[in-house]
Amino acid sequence: MTKLYYAPGACSLAAHLVLEETGAPYELEVVNLRDGQQHTAAYRALNPKGRVPLLEDGELLLTEVTAIMVYLACKHPDAALLPENPQTLARCLEWCSWLASSVHAAAVAQIWRPQRFADDPALHGAISEKGKTNLRESFDLIEKRLTGCHWAVGSQYSLVDPYLLVFYRWGYRMELDMRAHYPQWTAHAERLYSRAAIRQALEQEGIGIWP
Ligand SMILES: N[C@@H](CCC(=O)N[C@@H](CS)C(=O)NCC(=O)O)C(=O)O
């Protein structure tokens, strides 16, 4: 059985949305990040990185949102979540690499986890502020790239689309007025919400898209 270790609304949501899109059976196991469950010996034995998501599939233990989504898409080709055309496939990976690195590991972490960038608490405020600027630049680019597109890589739905929803929700958690600032991205989120698989996974996590 395939099992996803996740935290509600965390980046693991992208893997969960993709799992639900495949239509295959799976189990969920919540990891309570607030209580530090990701740092317990039991969890670190499975994932030494101490983060979610973690996918367990038979003998396979897999971390990193992009790797998990690509694995699931390849395992369930009928779900058509990864384009076959080399250029579109590369465009998908371009999106995922950028979201995981520049947007998540840099800008979002600067805002929510400034202690990763400097030990001195006096510097944390400035790091978070810079993160907000970096995030707005990234979000502006997302808005621009979604303009005139039904989905992130054009007309074909792909694993990039659910991944974008993670950041859209985080925008609200950072008190950005996503509807006002990002109308194209909001329309994209609404299109996602019209998909039964997306609503089902959100419901399982006990979360919505909008506050
Ligand atoms: N590069 C990883 C990032 C994973 C990550 O940072 N996950 C966060 C949740 S969004 C986490 O587990 N944080 C717990 C912690 O930092 O203690 C990926 O893309 O999967």
Q: Rounded mean pLDDT of 170-194? A: 97
d(CA 112, CA 170): 11
- Do 96 and 70 lie in one domain? The reply is no
38 lines ligand 1 (CB under 6 A): yes
Q: Tokens 């055309």 — which residue?
A: 85
| Same-domain pairing of 41 and 117 | no
Q: Could you report the per-residue pLDDT of 72-121, keeping only the tens digit for each?
A: 999 999 999 999 999 999 999 999 999 999 999 999 999 999 999 999 99
**Cut 0.95: pTM above it:** yes
Cβ of 198 below 6 Å from ligand 1? no
Is ligand 1 within 6 A of the CB of residue 47?
no
Ligand 1 center to residue 50 CA distance, Å? 8
In sequence order, the 6+-apart residues with CB closer than 8 A to the CB of 107 are 131, 134, 135, 138
Residue by residue, DSSP assigns 84-133 as: SSHHHHHHHHHHHHHIIIIIIIIIIHHHH-GGGT-S-GGGHHHHHHHHHH
Q: What is the pLDDT of residue 14?
A: 98
Average pLDDT over the chain, rounded to an integer: 97
Query: Does residue 90 belong to any structural domain of this protein?
Result: yes
pLDDT at 211: 75
Beta bridge mates, 63: 54
**Whether residues 137 and 120 fall in one domain:** yes
Query: How large is the average pLDDT for residues 174-197?
Result: 97
Q: Nearest 5°: phi and psi at 202?
A: -60, -40
The CB of 96 under 6 Å from ligand 1? The reply is: no
In this predicted structure, the answer to whether residue 41 has a pLDDT above a threshold of 80 is: yes
φ, ψ for residue 63 (rounded to 5)? -115, 175
* Residue 140 located in a structural domain: yes
- Specify whether 122 is located in the same domain as 186: yes
Q: Is the CB of 70 under 6 A from ligand 1?
A: no
For residue 52, the ligand 1 atom closest to its alpha carbon is: 12
The angle, 0 to 180 degrees and rounded to 10, between the axes of the packed helices 65-75 and 86-98 is 150
Q: What is the pLDDT of residue 154?
A: 87
Whether residues 51 and 33 share a domain: the answer is yes
Q: How far is the CA of 16 from the centre of ligand 1 (A)?
A: 14
d(CA 52, CA 119): 24
* CA atoms of 157 and 21, how far apart (whole Å): 11
> What is the model's pLDDT at position 82?
97
pLDDT confidence band for 57 (50 / 70 / 90): very high
Same domain? For 164 and 114 the reply is yes
Q: Is 100 in the pocket of ligand 1 (CB under 6 A)?
A: yes
Mean pLDDT along residues 33-49 = 98
Q: Indicate which atom in ligand 1 lies nearest the CA of residue 51.
A: 12
My answer on whether 68 and 95 are in the same domain is no
| Residues contacting 18, CB < 8 A, separation 6+ | 68, 69, 72, 73, 81, 159, 162
Residue 96 lies in a domain: yes
- Judge whether 209 lies within some domain: no
* 187 and 113 fall within a common domain: yes
CA of 77 from ligand 1 middle (Å) equals 27
Q: Rounded to an integer, what distance in angstroms lies between the CA atom of residue 11 and that of residue 9?
A: 7
Total domains present in the chain:
2
Residues 91, 75, single domain; the answer is: no
- Residue 64's CATH number: 3.40.30.10
Domain-terminating residue out of 23, 46, 79: 79
Same domain, 90 and 190: yes
Per-residue model confidence (pLDDT) at position 210:
86
Pairwise CA distance, residues 133 & 125, whole Å: 13
210 within a domain of the structure (yes/no): no
Say whether both 98 and 169 belong to one domain: yes
Which of 79, 113, 138 is the last residue in one of the domains?
A: 79
Q: 56 in helix, strand or coil? A: strand
Residue 42 is part of which domain span?
2-79
| 62 and 135 co-located in one domain | no
pLDDT at 197: 98
With 90 as the cut, is the pLDDT of residue 153 above it?
Answer: yes
From atom 2 of ligand 1, which residue's Cα is the shortest distance away? Answer: 64
